[in-house]
Amino acid sequence: PGLVARHAAWRAMTAIRHYRAPDGTFRKVLPFDQARREVAGWQAVAGLLPVPCLRGVREVQDGCEVVYEDVMASGRCCRLLADSINAADRQVGQAAVVRSLVNRVCDSLLAAFGATGAVSRLEDCVPDLHMARLTPGRRLDRWYIRPPLPAWAIDGQRFNLGDLASRALVAGGHTLGAMWPPAFTEQRSALAGHTRWTTAITQGDVTEPNITEPLCWLDFEHAGRNVLAGDVANFLWYLLAMGGWLVPTYQASVYERTLCTPVPPVATPTINDLRVTTRRVEIDYTWHVGTGRRTALTTLLQRTGGDLGMAVAADGDLTGRLRPFLILRILGVIPLGQMSGPHAALCLAKLAELSSPDLTLPDWCEAVAVAPLKQPSHVTCEQVGRLPP
């Protein structure tokens, strides 16, 4: 009944189907190999992180059904981090909830690192979010190297990636590196299987729909030994761009079925000026976000500037450790070819900014918060479902 019955709160993109059962369980029907991976991932993190109880696994006609405790129906959790951020974007006084939850996520990563941290080869970690996408012939090659290449209308002209590769990018008056890597040689070298990283046993896909309030981790397809820098980069890009802009815009059906209360973002990045010449792409933009999302970003940046950052990069080169994973997130989650020209230009600008040797994460994540919509300051999780968009 109520909020629980009206909205699905789990993300199961690879599931054949998923549903809430009357017995208070959440069930995912997966192909057999994915079900094995899901269960193995849950088993890897169950003693380390707050997770739902695994009730059982059974074979069904169209695959394998993995049965979990429904943490929303049981009252253990009330909404997702994405919902908490959206609520704080709209309600005075809700930012403290977001700050606390993001800190809990960082604490959970650090606890996993304290218990299972090790320096490991990348090839010994869960491969799907990183190495597999860079494998020749796989996702990045299919999206960007093989024809037809993505093409956009920008500044009244039509361009593809090759057209942009030969132009310098000027953003905010600063000339940055190449907008587009014509091949993935550098990325494949940075994330080669033999490279060694600080790792831990984690959930592996640190995104807003996989985190509940109070903290419980959902979705275990990528759980196991993961690179800590990859987890942080994933979380950072999701907070900066995916959750409050790209997913609602380009994966609207996923956004609708995932969140408890899917509401439109209150703010998205804005291009102030965009001009393309024979040698340059000049872009001036303002990265607008809601106050809740700004709070989440600020909290994560404070932790990466302290204890979490030291765990990721003991040598102090946090940006260098995050850089290849951030590039992979920008290119490898939503294809730039699906985006409008201005939106692709914004993502390419963020990509180019990563090439600056003087880059700091706070500068890269600089965002301007819009004023929250005026709502009562004391709002419960259940009331969030009744707020207007």
Encode pLDDT of 73-96 as tens digits: 999 999 999 999 999 999 979 999
pLDDT at 15: 66
pLDDT at 180: 72
The β-bridge relationship of strands 25-30 and 168-171 is unpaired
pLDDT at 377: 40
Nearest to 371 by CA among 295, 290, 299, 294: 290
pLDDT at 14: 53
pLDDT at 375: 52
Report the SS3 class of residue 20: strand
pLDDT at 148: 77
Burial 60-95 (b: 16+ CB within 10 A, else e): eeebbbbbbbbbbbeeebbbbbbbbbbbbbbbbebb
pLDDT at 5: 30
pLDDT at 146: 79
Distance between alpha carbon 212 and the CA centroid of its chain, in Å? 15
pLDDT at 195: 97
Nearest to 84 by CA among 239, 305, 195, 315: 239
The CA-based dihedral angle spanning residues 261, 267, 268, 272, taken in that order and rounded to the nearest 10 degrees: 170
How many angstroms separate the CA atoms of 377 and 389, rounded?
16
pLDDT at 308: 98
pLDDT at 172: 84
How many angstroms separate the CA atoms of 325 and 130, rounded?
7
Residues of the chain with pLDDT under 50: 1-13, 376-380, 382-389
Question: Tens of pLDDT along 231-287?
Answer: 999 999 999 999 999 999 999 999 999 999 999 999 999 999 999 999 999 999 999
